[in-house]
Amino acid sequence: MENRLLVLARLFAAAPGFVVRHRIVILTMVVLISVLQAVGVATRTRIDISTDSMIDQTDPAIAALNAFRTQFGSDDSLFLVYEARDGDIFSARSLAATRALTESLRDWRSLDVSRYDADLQELDQIRRVQSVTTLRVQRVDGDTLRSERLVPDDIPDDPAQLAAIREQALAEDDYRLAFYSDDARFGALLIQTTFGARPLEGYVPAVNAEDISLDDAFSNFGGDGGFELAFDEQATIDEVSFELVDMAEYKVFFTAVSAVLADYEADLAFYPAGNPSLMSWVFDVLQQMLWLAAGVVAIFIFLLRALFRSFSAVFWPIITIILSLLWSWGITVWIGATLSTMLSLTVMLVFAVGIADCVHVMSAYFVFREEGKSHESALANAYEKTGLAILVTTITTMAGVLALTGSDLVPIKVFGFMSALGVFMALVFTVVLLPILLSIWHPAPAKVAGTSRLLSYWVRWQQLSRKTQAAVMLVLLAVLFAVTGIAIGFYIGLTVLVTMAVVRWQSNILAACPNWARRRPGTILGVFALIFGASVYGTSQVNIDSNVAELARESSAPRIAYNMVDEHMAGAQTISVMIDTASSDGLLEPVVLKAMEALQQQVATHYRERISRTYSLANIVKDTHQVMNQDDPAFYRIPDDAVTVSQLMYLFNSANPEERRSLVSDDFSRSHITLNTYNAGSYEYQQVISELDADIARIFEPVRALFPELQVTVTGSVPVMMRAMDEIAQSQYSSLLLALAVISAIMIITLGSVQAGLISIIPNLIPALMTFGLMGLLGIALDVDTLLIAPVIIGIAVDDTIHFMTSYRLELIKTRSMPQALNNTLRDVGRAVMFTTMILGLGFAILGFSEYLGIAKVGIFGGLAILMALLCDLLLLPALIIKLQPRFGIKGDMESFSDAARSPVTVAATSSERR
Amino acid sequence: MQLFKRRLLGVLLLSTALISGVSAQSPADGRAILERVEDNQRAIADAAFNRIQLSSCRFGLQNSQITCAERARVKALESVSINTGANNRDTRSISIVLEPAAERGISMLSYTYDDASQDNETWLYLSALGQVKRIASGNSDDESEPASLFGSEFTTEDQDTGKLEDYTINVLREGTESGREVWLIETIPNEKRSRSTRYARTVQYVDKERFVVLRADMYDRTGREIKRLMASRVEQVNGNWMARSLTMMNLVANRLSNMAILEINSDVEIPENFLTPRTLTDVAFREAELQRIREQVE
């Protein structure tokens, strides 16, 4: 095994020379294939940003939801909550503003387009606008039913009249909390849209075909008596498919609505909730992601330049990474796969892995250049030293992302495949292309330490007096914080300080680590054991929970809106209980309506905390029954016979068929109960849903005698999406554990000994465990976003450990001395590990600025995980190696740490002892 | 309460308004053609006694023919209407449900006034409860939701009588439909009218000789055809051409409703006190008067 590893290392050493000799052929091929890939990227890229694509359409819950949508239509509405600036939505001023706004949105075609900097044409998606000014209230006056506007056409000025309107409104239970809050400070406009209900572009109804005619049965009737229309159950029904809605459409629609809202800001403050506003926000966040990604790349470049002090050492690695991305992107689209928004994650991953590969090579290269070696031999030595580790890290990272291809969801599969491909391409280009590029333009011979510009500044800085230093620092910090704000200022300050410290003291830090590890291995192991224990405990406390509103920061618009709706109104989300009697006119049977009523009562008494209100056909029947009986409240009940129910349904039947269809199927076999719910996480939703299932089974049991095929299903877009998310999260959690297991197995095989493999697993586990543990201790839930990116972060975090262990083993084989191998490894790999930690840690930390907490959490906890991995490599691994003295399966004589203790070796003295 | 918020005005008128036909003449423009159709509709509604069957089902295609894919839900009704008021532009009508059995006896009486300042009146009688209610609904068109005719695909927005001034009317071209020469006439609602209808455009196929609408295609604001009316069994009744079978297809929901005019009788002598609330509640009176009307037409 040791020999095979040495052979591999030698192969890597020979690689630069080989590829440089064949550079013409290789460059030509790379250029040609790159052009081909560029063509693919330019012409064949399809990015699906519809939210439905992230959900497994074969999931039974989704199938039920689709059946529900087909039957009852889309409920994609904008729920526009507003607060009256004067504290009363029933004041003359607030009512006038509400009416004017309602009319503007309904009748937007009459608005002066030039006054708005948005495309008002997008308001065409509005199907219906309801507000307190459009509501009608039912009044029974003797034998007359009056349906009058709650707010008269002429809004009165008289406070007494306004108070009467308010009083009447608050007495309407069907409207309260849906259109105004109990204290009348908040109101709401319900803007129903056609999103998701538009047939696919280019859809042509089958009846448009030539020679289609009406069946003669429609005309064959006699003069007297009725007739029965012939029917054919074999007839082909032309099912209409609807356009999937992508975020960009929500965005332009919401922008147009917002433009109109601006006119009424003086009187009303708006808090828009519902899918269009949320998706519009997500769209903005995705745009912000592009900027953040650019920021990450910028910080990569800045740090590479600062650490290597050479432009060619920055330029070529970036080129290799861009080519890796281009090829993996190109190959993926040439295969015909559709990309998703997860593309940005692939870009980040490939950048991270590519940077790590290049930093290790370049760092080793600079060490050899500093020793005075020529460009060619320094490069050969650098590849010999790092090639094997790069290979292993590539394999482990690929294993981590390939674990995602087990997902049922196509976008995640594509993400896993494309990322694995990108990581692989990064390895290929680092080995094959980077040496050629460096042969064209490479860093000048190493400068003498201390002559770099940064260091010369440092020297001058040190010559200043303490007071001057303090004053300058304060002024700089004040300017920085004033210009950028506290968070960004802190980030920039930290970056600069860390960079200066690493540039100035890297050798000191790296030399101190093994010394410390040798003097106090017990203390270090103890501290890490404590961290490990706390992390394990914290991990046991972590919840897997996805909460739509909590994806946004506390101060963000959607979060504020959702809190408002939950606090003052009936909540912005709905659960639907679909009732299918599988029998025509089943819904007209009193036993069914009574069961629905009973379930609604059960919900009203036992689910107060979660569900604010319910509505169903039963409400309509009871209302009509009361109204038709002189408004006597004693008749607010379901009648006992089906004939009376049928007749009470008469007026409802005469309503707009689209509206009727949204509540009950045309043959009255299916209907649903709408439950308005407060926002909650997937975990709570699951609990509510399972409790509801139990109540439904009990309450609907008597109905089964009449309708043996009865099906009652709990569904609705948000809860079902939550359930789907939870399932993704759970499965990702499993694939994460799988990835860790695979990585550990690879380590055991590569390191040639179970003992060494197990030693390396500990520092691999700690960053992951600490991240989850910290989230558990802080009460932050692991959601679907975090879990999708976790394997990526952990893959990157373990890379450094792999470099460390692989290098240590190679050094052990060469030097046959544990202390020397440890010192050499820390000095050579330690520097690269420190650099990659800095670059990737600070790079990922930028994501912490994201408005989208799913990404921000990844940035912050990912950065912490990478930092923890560094501490593990610099302190824990040396301590473990010193305590356990593993031989990595290497036979023969070897100087152990105990031997060395008898003849002390100082760390600083080893640099010339190499080889 | 949702159901009463709908404007019920015109539901009953609709059954007669859709039946069109006039003696042949050649008007010069689309508006004139449609005005002739309107005039005729009023003539047919006057002193009329009809029996109508509404059958609704999910539809499909079999051998290039549009056919029901399931057993149709059937409603049958009798209706009586007269024109009154100045220029005979007001209408009084009563509709009585015969089928299905559970709804038998439900009746609705409607007075609609041409004068916009006068509120339309509607009385509803539910036989199972023995209760009659007068339903007060405004005459204004603002925010009116389309109402359905007895739960069918026919709605009030499908045909608004007497509102031609609210439309831009263009004769698109001439063509043939069901083997007959037709004008294709496009109607586009003005801004005010477009608020109360989902149809941004309707194309009517009017028989050039008989002045019967043989087909109408209704388009939404995105230019998509959402409903289509097909007329068949065009016959001459009392000297007027009319389609006795009207089929409204909802192209989005794939449902259709067929309105079969089983019987139509104009110029029937109808006592004015028949079209009063008494008819709704007084079963003996109603049956006696209906019998007299039936005898006239037999």
How many other β-carbons are positioned within 10 Å of the β-carbon of residue A459? Answer: 9
What is the structure's pLDDT at B45? 66
How many other β-carbons are positioned within 10 Å of the β-carbon of residue B264? Answer: 20
**Cβ proximity of A166 and A45 under 8 Å:** no
Domain holding B171: CATH number? 2.50.20.10
Model ipTM value: 0.81
pLDDT in tens, A836-860: 888 888 888 888 888 888 778 878 8
**Cβ proximity of A796 and A866 under 8 Å:** yes
Q: Please indicate if any CB of chain A lies within 8 Å of the CB of B15.
A: no
* Statement: residue B27 has pLDDT above 60: no
* Residue with the two structure tokens 């359905």: B148
* Statement: residue A868 has pLDDT above 50: yes
User: How far is A60 from A62, CA to CA, in rounded Å?
Assistant: 5
* Residue with the two structure tokens 């698109």: B172
How many domains does chain B divide into? 1
> Shortest Cα distance from A102 to chain B (angstroms)?
11
Average pLDDT, stretch A227-231?
82
Residues of A in contact with B153 (CB under 8 A): 657
* Statement: residue A510 has pLDDT above 90: no
Sign of CA dihedral A667, A673, A676, A681: negative
* Statement: residue B153 has pLDDT above 80: yes
What is the structure's pLDDT at A908? 40
Sheet holding A186-193, edge to edge: A126-130, A186-193, A77-84, A268-273
* Candidates B136, B254, B262; nearest CB to A144: B136
Contact B102 A666 (CB under 8 A): no
- Which of A175-189, A793-807, B110-124, B213-227 comes out lowest in average pLDDT? B110-124
Give the structural domain span for B39: 2-297
pLDDT in tens, A719-729: 666 766 777 77
Q: Kindly report the pTM of this predicted structure.
A: 0.76
For the stretch B69-89, what's the b/e string if a residue is b when 16 or more beta carbons lie within 10 angstroms of its beta carbon? Answer: bbebbbbbbbbbbbbeeeeee
Q: Residue A154: exposed, middle, or buried by beta-carbon count in 10 A (0-12, 13-18, 19+)?
A: exposed
User: How far is B158 from B152, CA to CA, in rounded Å?
Assistant: 12
Contact A226 B124 (CB under 8 A): no
* Candidates B3, B222, B232; nearest CB to A655: B3
User: How far is A569 from A571, CA to CA, in rounded Å?
Assistant: 6
**Cβ proximity of A328 and A418 under 8 Å:** yes
Highest mean pLDDT among A63-77, A270-284, A545-559, B136-150: A270-284
Distance of CA A264 to the CA centre of its chain: 34
Contact B62 A654 (CB under 8 A): no
What is the structure's pLDDT at A51? 58
Q: How far is CA B47 from CA B77, B121, B234, B293, in A?
A: 17, 19, 21, 10
pLDDT in tens, A149-165: 888 888 898 999 999 99
Q: What is chain A's mean pLDDT, rounded?
A: 84
Highest mean pLDDT among A31-35, A299-303, A388-392, B164-168: A31-35
Q: Please indicate if any CB of chain A lies within 8 Å of the CB of B163.
A: no
* Statement: residue A748 has pLDDT above 60: yes
Contact B128 A641 (CB under 8 A): yes
Q: How far is CA A645 from CA A84, A177, A597, A630, B194, in A?
A: 42, 29, 14, 17, 35
Selected for mutation to probe chain B from A127, A172, A617, A656 (highest B CB count within 10 Å) is: A656
Q: Please indicate if any CB of chain A lies within 8 Å of the CB of B200.
A: no
Contact A235 B11 (CB under 8 A): no
Average pLDDT, stretch B121-145?
72
* Candidates B191, B253, B262; nearest CB to A226: B262
Average pLDDT, stretch A44-72?
67
Q: Please indicate if any CB of chain A lies within 8 Å of the CB of B151.
A: yes
Kindly indicate the confidence band of residue A905, based on its pLDDT and cuts at 50, 70 and 90.
very low
Closest residue in B to A137 (Cα–Cα): B1
The tokens for B90 are: 């007001």
Q: Please indicate if any CB of chain A lies within 8 Å of the CB of B122.
A: no
Closest residue by Cα to residue B224 from B200, B197, B205, B249:
B200
Selected for mutation to probe chain A from B104, B129, B214, B294 (highest A CB count within 10 Å) is: B129
What is the structure's pLDDT at B16? 40
Residues of B in contact with A109 (CB under 8 A): 191, 194
What is the structure's pLDDT at A430? 94
Average pLDDT, stretch A15-42?
94
Higher pLDDT, B214 or A2: B214
How many other β-carbons are positioned within 10 Å of the β-carbon of residue A18? Answer: 13
Distance of CA A554 to the CA centre of its chain: 17
> Shortest Cα distance from B28 to chain A (angstroms)?
30
Q: Please indicate if any CB of chain A lies within 8 Å of the CB of B70.
A: yes
Contact B68 A629 (CB under 8 A): no
Kindly indicate the confidence band of residue A590, based on its pLDDT and cuts at 50, 70 and 90.
very high
> Shortest Cα distance from B265 to chain A (angstroms)?
12
Contact B128 A643 (CB under 8 A): yes
Q: Please indicate if any CB of chain A lies within 8 Å of the CB of B247.
A: yes
* Candidates A229, A647, A659; nearest CB to B129: A647
- Angle at A89 (CA atoms; ends A86, A91), nearest 5 degrees: 70
* Statement: residue A907 has pLDDT above 60: no
What is the structure's pLDDT at A533? 93
Kindly indicate the confidence band of residue B4, based on its pLDDT and cuts at 50, 70 and 90.
very low
How many other β-carbons are positioned within 10 Å of the β-carbon of residue A756? Answer: 24
Highest mean pLDDT among A187-201, A273-287, A333-347, A421-435: A421-435
**Cβ proximity of B237 and B40 under 8 Å:** no
The tokens for A828 are: 């050579």
Distance of CA A915 to the CA centre of its chain: 49
Chain A / chain B CB contacts < 8 angstroms:
233
- The fraction of chain A above a pLDDT of 70, given in percent, is 91
pLDDT in tens, A497-507: 888 888 888 88
Residues of A in contact with B59 (CB under 8 A): 235, 237
* Statement: residue A681 has pLDDT above 90: no
pLDDT in tens, A637-674: 999 998 999 888 887 887 777 778 878 888 888 898 98
Contact B145 A659 (CB under 8 A): yes
Cis previous bond, A445, omega within 30? no
* Candidates A207, A229, A646; nearest CB to B258: A229
**Cβ proximity of A301 and A313 under 8 Å:** no
- The fraction of chain A above a pLDDT of 90, given in percent, is 22
- Which of A18-32, A343-357, B124-138, B151-165 comes out lowest in average pLDDT? B151-165
pLDDT in tens, A703-716: 999 999 888 888 87
Which DSSP helix (H) or strand (E) runs through A888? none
Contact A231 B252 (CB under 8 A): no
User: Using H for helix, E for strand and C for coil, what is the string for A47-108?
Assistant: ECCEHHHHCCCCCHHHHHHHHHHHHHCCCCEEEEEEEECCCCCCCHHHHHHHHHHHHHHHCH
What is the structure's pLDDT at B14? 42
How many other β-carbons are positioned within 10 Å of the β-carbon of residue B100? Answer: 13
pLDDT in tens, A749-798: 877 778 888 888 888 788 888 888 888 898 888 777 777 667 666 777 77
